[in-house]
Amino acid sequence: MSRRNKSKKRIIHADPIYNNKLISMLTVRILKHGKKNLAQKIIYQSLDIIKQKTKKDPLEILEQAIRNATPLVEVKARRVGGSNYQVPIEVRAYRGTNLALKWITKFAIQRSGNNMAIKLANEVIDASNENGNAIRKREETHKMAEANKAFAHYRY
């Protein structure tokens, strides 16, 4: 445990076009080598693709996808008496959103194809429809927590 001051939460600024904080958080996850304009262009293209495919508001689809992929509990390794236990803990809202964004971008990158905008759009649409790899990851996390709920009394 660090004895220094706690790090301050950074203020998230909304993105320039949609004026939405979720899109700027997603931009940071896609960002590579400091090329923010490229990351924003990929996200805006994928939102256009979502709008064409679903004929609905892409921001609502994105918010629904993040809501569906957000985990409620996760396991954390805790060392007690010389052995490690996977202790289930509740996920705070901010961390849950970050995990959902991280999983959506990770599995979008892993998809087959060569256009990141299309891959991201498909992953977001899948997550909003309660299927896809990000949803599978959330279910896997919930199963791990359920299997280890006997160690919940080691929570801190």
- Sequence spans of domains, the chain: 21-154
Q: What's this model's pTM, rounded to 2 decimal places?
A: 0.91
Q: Name the stretches of the chain with pLDDT < 70.
A: 1-2
What integer pLDDT is reported at residue 45 of this predicted model? 96
Q: Given this model, what pLDDT does residue 115 score?
A: 94
Structure tokens of 3? Answer: 């004895």
Cα–Cα nearest to 127, from 74, 50, 75: 50
Query: Which two three-digit tokens encode residue 153?
Result: 């009394």
Q: Any idea what the Cα angle at residue 6 is, between residues 30 and 23, rounded to 5°?
A: 25
CATH class of 21-154: mainly alpha
Burial class (CB in 10 A: 0-12, 13-18, 19+), 140: exposed
Residue 70, helix vs strand vs coil? coil
